[in-house]
Structure 1
């Protein structure tokens, strides 16, 4: 029994020595990590040093040229710019020219969210004239106009400058023009063949 106690004491001393060595190594690694993190924290990406107005102008050139409508998500969409960093999100949301054209309904957005999407999008355009492109699925399977989209866009009709309908929505032009009586400065109403 005394022999096993002596062995355990020796093993305990070895374990304490191993722990001390590992703690010193860990301390050295933490110190190195802190220095690297400090260098990273001090780095300023050159694009973030540009004035917000210049970044906003670059953003406007990123999306399709007005009156073309960007997609609600993905490449060429202003929503992609809001997902890069906080500064870009703030700049994009504060740049009305990015939000003045919209393609409805967006096939990637659930139908129940289309009205909220169009309202949020168009409210960000502030006082800018707007461009809308309404697609086939603007009409439901029974051939009736979906209410959530028109209800959401009617408050913005006075700023409507361009309205593009596909050929299947053509039968609803009279309804749209009645609902959009006050179309303000409507410059162009066009009908496109379905793709």
Structure 2
């Protein structure tokens, strides 16, 4: 059999090629598909893959893949293949039908993971199971490779137990991104004192810590690229009553702003909004947009309203039309149906520069009457870049499918293959990354963005 050009490549070069094609660890199915596809080509490629630890640094653990003996053997094999390289660890315990996990399973998993945690590079942990949370936390005192820490905790049953996420003397010297969503601060026995302030560039922490503590941390962080603001209603009221004694935020490096609730107090704390390129509002909706309209977002490129149904679509249209730098919007299906005719009818077309729209999933089953004529008209317009439709379930509450709903959307996708495509959550490029590219770089640089 004739040799192929790849057969004469040195193993080191071939390993580099394999790693160049490896997607970001956040795209689990793409990572699995990549590793499986290249390791099943031939014996030599399989040997190269197994002998390249960086290919196996991403580990994914959920309540579904640790249920049998084969699952444990597979996990052990993946850990062995990664050898001693820093790991990207994703743990997902979110089984609503089974709110408890076998204690023996947790003990066995802890035995596997405890020796690995000091060399974790990126940690993404999601759980609603109190037992799993208490077994995994607190984190080790020293995690010298940790760069990204994302925790989504919704423990049930809560009871009167306290959760210690990390100790006050923890050491995370390379931490760049901190994202924590969880219960109220009254149940958390940790503080932000253990998190370094100097190099954290992405801070998205909800009311798992009290507002004063979050504000104190943000005000001492001088190089934030993205900020998540999530005040409770009571916290918001207290902050509005005492805005003068709150420290200002140094926001001249801030590129992405995520607001979950009211934006009024936050706008008082920011010393500038000129550098912000991406704005996500949820669920403040109209109130947030009305407050933001009077703010000088001179470089805003993208805006997201993922879980914030509008009561007055005119508010979003007014915001977009007064910010000509916006070229992409992300919103749920309800808002899409309301906004599209307003954006792209008659002379309104010339009042903005939106050329890219992403529609995300919705739980409002009664909104599946797709305005096909309006969508077709927009897709045919010369300035349209692309419409992404992010997994919408066309099933009614009684289990019946909506008449021709899926087929009508698919017909549009077939008619406009360059502008329209379906995406799943694992394929979606984060909107703040789209904002960093700008209208000229998107969508030609999409694959590069996927790997950031």
Asked if Structure 1 and Structure 2 have the same fold, meaning a TM-score greater than 0.5 normalized by the shorter chain, the answer is yes
Q: TM-score range by the shorter chain?
A: 0.5 to 0.7
Residue 140 of structure 2 is aligned to residue 181 of structure 1: yes
* 2:20 maps to which of 55, 61, 69: 61
Alignment of 1:1-195 (within 5 A): 41=1, 43-65=2-24, 67-68=25-26, 70-71=28-29, 75-76=33-34, 78-105=35-62, 107=64, 111-136=68-93, 141-144=98-101, 146-147=105-106, 148-168=108-128, 172-178=132-138, 180-181=139-140, 184-185=143-144, 186-192=146-152
Which deviations, in whole Å up to 9, do the C-alpha atoms of 1:46-101 show, x marking residues without a partner?
Answer: 11121111111111122222x4364498522x233222111001100110110111
Q: Secondary structure at the match of 1:181?
A: coil
Higher-RCO chain (CA-CA 8 Å, sequence separation at least 6):
1
2:132, 2:9 → 1: CA distance?
Answer: 47
Deviation of 1:129 after TM superposition, in Å, equals: 0.7
1:113, 1:119 → 2: CA distance?
Answer: 10
Q: 1:73 to 1:130 in 2, by over 3 A?
A: closer
Which deviations, in whole Å up to 9, do the C-alpha atoms of 1:20-40 show, x marking residues without a partner?
Answer: xxxxxxxxxxxxxxxxxxxxx
1:58, 1:174 → 2: CA distance?
Answer: 41
**Displacement over 6 Å in runs of 4+:** none
Question: Of Structure 1 and Structure 2, which has the larger fraction of its residues in strand?
Answer: 2
1:154, 1:139 → 2: CA distance?
Answer: 26
Q: Secondary structure at the match of 1:127?
A: coil
- Structure 1 length as normaliser, TM-score? 0.62
Q: Secondary structure at the match of 2:114?
A: helix
Q: Which moved more, 1:182-191 or 1:154-163?
A: 182-191
Q: Which moved more, 1:181-190 or 1:154-163?
A: 181-190
Q: 1:171 to 1:142 in 2, by over 3 A?
A: closer
- Structure 2 length as normaliser, TM-score? 0.29
1:133, 1:56 → 2: CA distance?
Answer: 24
- Corresponding residue for 2:361? none
Q: 1:165 to 1:109 in 2, by over 3 A?
A: closer
The 8 Å contact of residues 22 and 31 in structure 2, kept in 1 or not, is answered as no
Greater C-alpha Rg: 1
Deviation of 1:171 after TM superposition, in Å, equals: 7.0
Count, aligned residues: 151
Q: Which stretches in structure 1 are left out of the alignment for 5+ residues?
A: 1-40
Q: CA RMSD in A?
A: 3.4
Deviation of 1:175 after TM superposition, in Å, equals: 2.6
